[in-house]
Chains A and B, each alone.
Chain A
Amino acid sequence: MYQYDALDQAFVDQRVAEFRDQMRRHLAGELSEDEFRPLRLRNGLYIQRHAPMLRIAIPYGLLAARQLRKLADIARRYDRGFGHFTTRQNLQLNWPKLVDVPDILAELATVQMHAIQTSGNCVRNVTADHLAGIAPDEVDDPRPYCEIIRQWATLHPEFTYLPRKFKIAVTGSPEDRAASEVHDIGLHLTRNGSGGIGFTVLVGGGLGRTPMIGQVIREFLPLPDLLSYLEAILRVYNRHGRRDNLNKARIKILVKSLGIARFREQVEAEWQLSRESSARLPAAEVERVRGFFRPQPYETLEDLDAASGREPRFKAWYRYNTRPHRVPGYRAVFVALKAHGHNPGDMSSEQMEAVASLAERVSFGLIRTTHNQNLMLADVRQRDLYEVWLELERLGLAMPNIGTLTDMIACPGLDFCSLANAGTLGVARQIQERFDDLDYLYDLGDIEIKMSGCMNACGHHHVGHIGILGVDKHGEEWYQISLGGSANAFTALGEVIGPSVPKAEVASTIERIVEVYRTLRADGERFIETLRRVGLEPFREGAYATHPAAA
Chain B
Amino acid sequence: MRRILRRREIVADDWRHLGEDLEEGSALIVPLVELRKDPERWRQWRGRLGVLLRSVDPVEEVAGDLPRLDLVAVEFPTPSDGRGYSAGRLLRERLGFRGELRAVGAGVRQDQVFLLARCGFDAIELASTEDPEAARRALDRYTIAYQPGSSEVALRRQRFFA
The answer to whether A10 has its CB under 8 Å from any CB of chain B is: yes
The answer to whether B6 has its CB under 8 Å from any CB of chain A is: no
The answer to whether A434 has its CB under 8 Å from any CB of chain B is: no
> Considering the complex of A and B, which 7 residue pairs feature the smallest CB-CB distances, nearest first?
A161-B82, A157-B118, A279-B161, A151-B146, A158-B85, A157-B115, A7-B144
Could you mark each residue 141-162 of chain B with 1 if its beta carbon is under 8 Å from any beta carbon of chain A, else 0?
1111111110000000101110
State the Cβ distance, A41 to closest chain B Cβ, in Å.
10
Q: Which chain A residues border B143 with CB–CB below 8 Å? A: 10-11, 14
**Complex CA–CA separation, A17 to B114 (angstroms):** 14
State the Cβ distance, B81 to closest chain A Cβ, in Å.
6
Beta-carbon nearest neighbor of A36 in chain B: B111
Q: Which A residues lie at the B interface, using CB under 8 A?
A: 7-8, 10-11, 14-15, 17-18, 22, 35, 38-39, 121, 148, 151-152, 154-163, 227, 235, 238-239, 243, 273-274, 277-279, 281-282, 285
The answer to whether B98 has its CB under 8 Å from any CB of chain A is: no
The answer to whether B93 has its CB under 8 Å from any CB of chain A is: yes
**Complex CA–CA separation, A159 to B144 (angstroms):** 17
Q: Give 17 A-B contacts (CB < 8 Å), ordered by A residue.
A: A11-B143, A11-B144, A14-B142, A38-B79, A121-B80, A148-B160, A152-B160, A156-B147, A157-B89, A157-B115, A157-B118, A157-B145, A158-B115, A158-B147, A239-B58, A277-B93, A279-B148
* A161 in contact with B145 given A7-B159, A148-B160 (CB within 8 Å): no
Main secondary structure of the interface of B (DSSP, over half): loop
**Complex CA–CA separation, A235 to B82 (angstroms):** 11
**Interchain CB contact under 8 A, A158 and B160:** no
Main secondary structure of the interface of A (DSSP, over half): helix
- Residues from 50 to 95 in B contacting A, C-beta threshold 8 Å: 58, 79-83, 85-86, 89, 93-94
- B interface residues, tally (CB under 8 Å): 31
**Complex CA–CA separation, A162 to B86 (angstroms):** 10
- Residues from 89 to 127 in B contacting A, C-beta threshold 8 Å: 89, 93-94, 109, 111, 114-116, 118-119
**Interchain CB contact under 8 A, B82 and A238:** yes
**Interchain CB contact under 8 A, A151 and B161:** no
**Complex CA–CA separation, A238 to B83 (angstroms):** 6
Q: Which chain B residues border A157 with CB–CB below 8 Å? A: 85, 89, 114-116, 118-119, 145, 147, 149
